[in-house]
Amino acid sequence: MIVSSVFRRSSRDYRCQQFVEAVTDYLEGAMRGRDRSRFEAHLRHCDGCEHYLAQLRRTIELTGHLGVDDVNALGPEARRQLVGAFRDFHAPRA
Amino acid sequence: MFLPRPLVALPGPALHARGDAAHHSSENQYVTPVASDYVDDQILVASLRRGDEAAFAWLLDRYGASLQRLARSYVATAAAAEEAVQETWVAVITGIDRFEQRASLKTWLYRILINVARSKGVREHRSVPFASLADELDQDEPAVDPTRFVGAGDARAGSWAAPPVPWDEEPERRLLAAETLAVVEAAIATLPPHQARVLRLRDLEGWASPEVCNALDLSETNQRVLLHRARAKVRQALESHFEGSTP
């Protein structure tokens, strides 16, 4: 194990296994100050983590492609009924 | 591909009304808004309260499929999800006058759906154990299989032993192929329910983080943990797919 105290860790001690767990904080903008600079310093010199981050961005993008072609889940009959219910609700009382 | 679903075609006179006019209309001189006006919550809510059928139809078409998908994560069958969605719409019809507009109409709509679907789910699951949020959060789930990293005892412990390879070499058409999207869909389907909901709302529906926290009653931190785990699993499924292996 790494002997140096947590407080003395430089960016060199920031390991890929920590990086992959911090990726979402980074993408969500929830990472500040020192954590952010250590993350970014690691990213600059680690190809594996750079690829990991790129893959994750791709994953998010691909997920965004799902569902866009979905047809309306509501059948035409159910849709007609609901619009009818809306109409009835607003119909002036006799 | 990122365009929203087409707006419902509005019949007759609605199409002739000018959008701008609707913004300035007074109670007495109500001008039927055009479909593009309904993205404005004030106009949409006012239209629904007036009994504007086109506004209600617009709402149905815009959120119907998405509500159905979300409902599905609370109940066991597609039929039960449909029921939850129908009940939600009825609650919208009868409750719009009481909607206080502290949140957006969208948030209000989803909160109704979630309440309806959740109570249905609870009834369904009475005898079947299901994962609570706490259970899901308590799991120790590394984003990446620990065996991909150099093990303890080595000076390089925690560094990649089997680093990810770029996907850029995958041709664009393969990335967007139905087969690839099916892998994403299948991966989402196997996620624990809380992770699946957060991922769907954030990355599939494109909601912002505060909207999701609000609708699902999650703290920012818990939402981020769930999103993190969910995305990591979908990434893993895609990686296995591109490498032609199985996870």
Structure confidence at residue A1 as a pLDDT band (50, 70, 90)? very low
In-domain check, residue B72 = yes
The answer to whether the Cβ–Cβ distance between B159 and A16 falls below 8 Å is yes
Start-end of H helices in chain A: 16-27, 33-45, 47-65, 76-90
Across the interface, of A25, A46, A70, the residue whose CB is closest to B224 is A25
Residue B99: give its domain's CATH number: 1.10.1740.10
In terms of CA atoms, which chain B residue is nearest residue A72?
B65
Tokens 């309440």 locate to B115
Q: What are the C-alpha distances in Å from B174 to residues A27, A48, B167, B241?
A: 25, 22, 10, 11
Kindly identify which residue of chain A lies nearest to residue B199, measuring between CA atoms.
A63
Instruction: Residue B178: list chain A partners with CB under 8 A.
Output: none
pLDDT tens digit at each of 247 positions of chain B: 343 443 443 333 343 344 444 444 444 556 778 878 888 999 999 999 999 999 999 999 999 888 988 898 888 888 899 999 999 999 999 999 999 888 889 989 999 999 999 888 878 765 445 568 888 888 889 999 999 999 988 889 999 999 999 987 667 777 778 889 999 999 998 999 899 999 999 999 889 999 999 889 899 999 999 999 999 999 999 999 988 744 3
Show the 3-state SS of chain B. CCCCCCCCCCCHHHHHCCHHHHHHCCCCCCCCCCHHHHHCHHHHHHHHHHCCHHHHHHHHHHHHHHHHHHHHCCCCCHHHHHHHHHHHHHHHHHHHHHCCCCCCHHHHHHHHHHHHHHHHHHHHHHHCCCCCHHHHHHCCCCCCCHHHECCCCCCCCCCECCCCCCCCCCCHHHHCCHHHHHHHHHHHHCCCHHHHHHHHHHHHCCCCHHHHHHHHCCCHHHHHHHHHHHHHHHHHHHHHHHCCCCC
Interfacial B residues in 211-240 facing A (CB < 8 Å): 220, 224, 227-228, 231-232, 234-235, 238-239
- Check CB contact of B77 with chain A, cutoff 8 Å: no
User: Does B90 map to a domain?
Assistant: yes
Same domain (yes/no): B103, B122: yes
Q: Which of B86, B112, B127 is the last residue of a domain?
A: B127
Model pTM score? 0.78
How high is the pLDDT of residue B130? 59
Total CB pairs under 8 A between chain A and B: 160
pLDDT at B4: 40
Is B4 part of any domain? no
Q: Which of residues 152-181 of B touch A (CB under 8 A)?
A: 152-153, 157-160, 163-168, 175-176, 180-181
> The tokens of B157 are what?
């412990």
Domain containing residue B181: 133-242
* B167 & B100 share domain: no
User: So what's the ipTM on this one?
Assistant: 0.80
Q: Is residue B20 part of a domain?
A: yes
Structural domains of chain B, count: 2
